[in-house]
Amino acid sequence: MAEKVVLAYSGGLDTSVSIKWIKDKYGLDVVTCTVDVGQQEDLSGIGEKAREIGAVNHHQLDAKDEFVKRFVFPSIKANSLYEGAYPLSTALARPLLAEKLVQVAEKEGAIAVAHGCTGKGNDQVRFDITIKALNPYLKIIAPVREWNMNREDEIKYAQKNHIPIKADKSVFSTDQNLWGRSIESGPLEDPFTEPPDEAFEWCVPAEKAPDKPQYLEIDFENGVPIAVDGRTSSPVEMVRYVSHKAGMNGFGIIDHVEDRLVGIKSREVYECPAALTFVQAHKDLEKLVLTRHELSFKSKVEEEWAWLVYSGLWMEPSRLALDAFIDATQQRVSGTVRLKFFKGGMRVVGRKSPESLYQHKLSTYDRTSTFDQKAAIGFIELWGLPSRVANEKLSPNHGKKKAPLPMVNATPSRKKA
């Protein structure tokens, strides 16, 4: 009996061709593994297709709830936006897929695992590092990276070996899960070309969004969303609800030039309506309940957290250490945020919390204010002291006596008639 390899199987061209290619090149029996993280695809016949191509066994796992609780919720608490734009939708799912791949490999007694990542993207790093961290004894096979075939070559290989593939007329290459959808290729490879409407599936064009503003309320507890529009539901359903509501209002499209881990500047287009909504709402609530110093330091932690996850270092101990700090800050991040959507835009229009540091009696300008305005004089004197002393030293007239300012007659002179 041949030894086994477990292949992360999506049912697409790359991984379908990989079943036959691995068998021919390495002489291994291929076991396929499909993990549902909310990619919204029909997975009902994917196991039969894998076996038809040559897989000896197939595992299908539903990990949507686990994906949200273990990966999405921590990313909300971290306000994670790589380079200030990308909410890590694909990056967050990869370590979970790699973990499931290793678990199936150990169950099957396989000597290797395989994935369909290319040699020029970030996903290969995320898969490989996580797999090696979890089980360094497993060999990793990446057919697309090894064979260096382009799409046309793969199609010819599939046709030659009678591998069933879908007739895909789209010029775009997409990847999606509950947290977002990435769109690449075709006209998007020109960073000056506006993405056409047909590239998007989750977000309607802004001009076709409802003509009246739509509102949404999110309740948080310890930094995690627990209800939307006053209704509690499963984490998966909450994400889906917000994704639909934000997307139907045209909100959630990201179009930016991204620095890939492998050194390539890449034009990336994403649809992440739920991710952007939750992160912006959570970030606003933090402003209400955390101190200036907490917010300032946490912003640096958030940048590092996003970088580690984007770079495939989910298993890095420093990420766990950052999580510990983030979790400590979230003990007071509870409350409600109200959002307003209109024609592709979204803004926070209200927030409240039992942990709020906002005090009306200090902030108000009416006569009930308890703030002593005279105290500001001494504060300004001490706050500006270092700058004043430094500027005295830097002044070209330092050390010189200055002539007294001329007296100004406050009484206007009278001209003789």
Active site residue 123: yes
Q: CB under 8 Å to 19, separation ≥6 — which residues? A: 7, 9, 30, 32, 50, 53, 54, 55, 163
- CB pairs under 8 A, 24+ apart, for 181-186? 181/89, 181/270, 181/271, 181/272, 182/89, 182/90, 182/268, 182/269, 182/270, 183/269, 183/270, 183/271, 184/268, 184/269
- Predicted local distance difference test score (pLDDT) of residue 405: 64
Active site residue 267: no
Active site residue 94: yes
The structure tokens listed for 221 are 């507890």
Active site residue 255: no
Q: CB under 8 Å to 193, separation ≥6 — which residues? A: 187
- Split at pLDDT 50, 70, 90, the class of 169 is low
Structure confidence by residue, pLDDT tens digits, 265-324: 999 999 999 999 999 999 999 999 999 999 999 999 999 999 999 999 999 999 999 999
Query: Do strands 345-352 and 335-342 pair parallel, antiparallel, or not at all (unpaired)?
Result: antiparallel
pTM above 0.95, yes or no: no
Is the pLDDT at 415 greater than 60, yes or no? no
- Predicted local distance difference test score (pLDDT) of residue 413: 54
Is the domain defined by 4-160 classed in CATH 3.40.50.620?
A: yes
Catalytic pick from 29, 75, 123, 284? Answer: 123
Scan for tokens 């191509």, then name that residue: 53
| Number of separate helices (H) and strands (E) present in the chain | 15, 13
- Predicted local distance difference test score (pLDDT) of residue 366: 87
Catalytic pick from 80, 89, 94, 128? Answer: 94
CA distance 12 to 50: 10
Sign of CA dihedral 318, 323, 326, 331: negative
Assign a CATH topology to domain 178-361.
Argininosuccinate synthetase, chain A, domain 2 (3.90.1260)
Would you list the domain boundaries of the chain? 4-160, 178-361
- Split at pLDDT 50, 70, 90, the class of 194 is very high
CA distance 358 to 124: 46
